[in-house]
Amino acid sequence: MKNSSLILPLLAFSLGIQNSFAQAEKPNILLIITDDQGYGDFGFTGNSQIETPTLDSLAAVSAQFMDYYVSPVCAPTRASLMTGRYSLRTGVRDTYNGGAIMSADEITIAEMLKKEDYRTGIFGKWHLGDNYPSRPKDQGFDESVIHLSGGMGQVGDFTTYFQGDRSYFDPVLWKNGRQEKYFGYCSDIFTDEAIKFAAQTDEKPFFLYLSFNAPHTPLQVPDKYLEPYKDVDPQLLLEANNPHGLELTEKNKEDARRVYAMISNIDENLNRLFSSLRESGKLENTLIIFMTDNGPQQRRYVAGMRGRKGSVFRGGVRVPLLISHPVLVQGNRKIDQTAAHIDIFPTLADILDLKTPTDRKLDGMSLLPYLRNENESKKDRVLFFYWTRKYPTLYQNIALQRGTYRLIADQDFDGDNSDFSFFDYHSNPSELENLSFKNLQIIEDLKSRLDETYRELIHSENILTPPYIHVGTIFENPSYLNRNDAGGDRGIWAQEDIFGKWDVKTEKGLYNVEFKFIKPVPAGGLVIMEFGPYVFRKSVKEETDVVILENVALHDYHGDLIPFYQCDGSRIFPFWVRMDRIDMPRPIR
């Protein structure tokens, strides 16, 4: 039975409806996103096994977009959310392999609102660059408490990686660009920091981006949240809506229980946040936006849709969107208009009557008319989806959606039109029946638009000239180059004998360069660092997992930094590289 006491703060909030948003002061903006929480992971979307009373009550007083889409994976969704642009325009093309760094030239929601005298804060997952000039503090956020890379416990987040099955507990996080030790469970910590930020006594409105890394793997959660789900059988939930005949293994079932437990923890944390805002009197003028970043990573209930995280089928890209405000939004409404992550930036600009940038293309549209119930749905909205590792691969896991038509390509680059899959999700929401043989003319039209969009996006300036890491500046020193941002071999992750590199620009100066390896390297080899025409080597006389090159003279140069340990025919790539410029003033904090 759901805890009704959790619902009260939002029900009280819904009673304060006024007649005109123009009469209100600038709203606080609370943008909440969870990680790998699929469409079927909520009570309000039909999951009878999960406990989400706070989010269910939020849905009851919100405008709920029933046809809302994101990218198939994390970083592209976040880049589009922050900028109103397809992620490829921003330089973000992947979740790692050097493809999750957003160009510093992009204008983010935080930068837009900061110019309007908002306090800006992010707590949780950023995943758009871990070094200057792409960190949150470089992209408009006054305050930040984040983990690195795509997830805690992942190789890019080296401050939690070695904690193993305790990486979500008592972590070292990055507060305003510096390491700081925290105690407790990660989602609790991020919520605590969000509550502190929102509670600051300041006449300025706030923009609070609460970006939970849960329920992303590793599926770690305090036992008390797992206990209520120990006897739940996720397969039973599928019996009522399982058009694809999905059968769950015992591991699938245990994973689902753990995900549900992590979501229950998030739901409880959101109740704490909403209650704090209500008690301070700030909730009545806070615009709340809630969404998730893609479909579920593991196999479980996804409301009958096909696909999950990584897939361009609807199960991978359709998620909930809730928008709530007692003045702005006609609550308890379900809106059928197709919407997407690229719409949040222009919607906020429209709400605040701000001009959007004119020197770049925005792909999104304002949802404000639909929130005010002033517009009929646009039936022909076109959206583009893709995801393959490293760079978009022509006709591999790519889709174009126009209205309710979806053209999906997963074939060789030179396949013909008959190899494409075509669905009308209005009549076939499960994308089970391929109608391509009946609709060749429609397929030809959609394929032409898909080809045009693909060519335009892969020729984006930030794809042809990707964002890089700027080392040796007063804004960040030392700089840690982590595995998430390393390019080189496709799929580079935690491997040792693999080719890797970082795209780096250095300032002229003297550096101490430290190489950290996953495991100790044997004695008798050489550490070699290649940086364009500059090559440095050092003999290693004893087994060690850390090697330091001291007083390395580097010039103003931009290129590939290629470090490796050479021994007995192997080239071991470091786990991370620390570059500390030693002949400069202390960095700006």
Q: Over the stretch 284-325, which tens digit does the pLDDT of each residue have? A: 999 999 999 999 999 999 999 999 999 999 999 999 999 999
Contacts of residue 239, Cβ cutoff 8 Å, sequence gap at least 6: none
Q: What is the pLDDT of residues 262-287, one digit of tens each?
A: 999 999 999 999 999 999 999 999 99
Stretch 9-22: mean pLDDT: 45
Q: What is the rounded CA–CA span in Å between residue 70 and residue 78?
A: 9
Q: What is the pLDDT of residue 9?
A: 53
Contacts of residue 374, Cβ cutoff 8 Å, sequence gap at least 6: none
Q: What is the rounded CA–CA span in Å between residue 308 and residue 317?
A: 8
Q: What is the pLDDT of residue 271?
A: 98
Predicted TM-score (pTM) above 0.85: yes
Q: What is the rounded CA–CA span in Å between residue 575 and residue 212?
A: 25
Which pLDDT band, with edges at 50, 70 and 90, does 3 fall under? very low
For tokens 């496709």, the residue is: 490
pLDDT-wise least confident of 349-363, 376-390, 459-473: 376-390
Question: Is residue 257 predicted with pLDDT exceeding 70?
Answer: yes
Q: What is the rounded CA–CA span in Å between residue 390 and residue 469?
A: 18
Q: What is the pLDDT of residue 474?
A: 95
Question: Is residue 168 predicted with pLDDT exceeding 90?
Answer: yes
Residue 209, SS3? strand
Q: What is the rounded CA–CA span in Å between residue 542 and residue 518?
A: 16
- Bridge partners of 147? 125
What's the chain's average pLDDT? 94
Using CA atoms, how far residue 260 sits from 50, 238, 252, 318, 477, in Å, is 6, 15, 12, 19, 40
For tokens 């304002």, the residue is: 366
90 close to 106: Cβ distance less than 8 angstroms = yes
Q: What is the pLDDT of residue 19?
A: 38
Q: If you compute the radius of gyration of the chain from its CA atoms, what whole number of angstroms results?
A: 24
Q: What is the rounded CA–CA span in Å between residue 225 and residue 237?
A: 20
Q: What is the rounded CA–CA span in Å between residue 96 and residue 99?
A: 5
Q: What is the pLDDT of residues 344-378, one digit of tens each?
A: 999 999 999 999 999 999 999 999 999 998 877 78
344 close to 364: Cβ distance less than 8 angstroms = yes
At residue 377's C-alpha, the angle toward residues 373 and 380, to 5°, is 160
Type of residue at 194: A
Q: What is the rounded CA–CA span in Å between residue 332 and residue 326?
A: 11
Q: What is the pLDDT of residue 574?
A: 98
Please provide the DSSP assignment of 415-475 as one string: --GGGSEEEETTT-TT--S--GGG-HHHHHHHHHHHHHHHHHHHT-HHHHS---EEESBTT
Domains of the chain in start order, with CATH, are 29-371 (3.40.720.10), 382-464 (3.30.1120.10), 469-581 (2.60.120)
Which pLDDT band, with edges at 50, 70 and 90, does 328 fall under? confident
Q: What is the pLDDT of residue 11?
A: 52
Which has the closest alpha carbon to 87: 64, 106, 68? 106
Q: What is the rounded CA–CA span in Å between residue 448 and residue 241?
A: 35
Q: What is the pLDDT of residue 20?
A: 42
Both tokens assigned to 493: 């992750």
Cis link prior to 133 (omega < 30° from 0)? yes
Q: What is the pLDDT of residues 36-89, one digit of tens each?
A: 999 999 999 999 999 999 999 999 999 999 999 999 999 999 999 999 999 999
Please provide the DSSP assignment of 56-97 as one string: HHHHHTSEEEEEEE--SSHHHHHHHHHHSS-HHHHT--SSST
Both tokens assigned to 309: 């995280």
Q: What is the rounded CA–CA span in Å between residue 170 and residue 583?
A: 35
Q: What is the pLDDT of residues 511-559, one digit of tens each?
A: 999 999 999 999 999 999 999 999 999 999 999 999 999 999 999 999 9
Q: What is the distance, to the nearest Å, from the Cα of residue 344 to the centroid of all Cα atoms in its chain?
A: 14
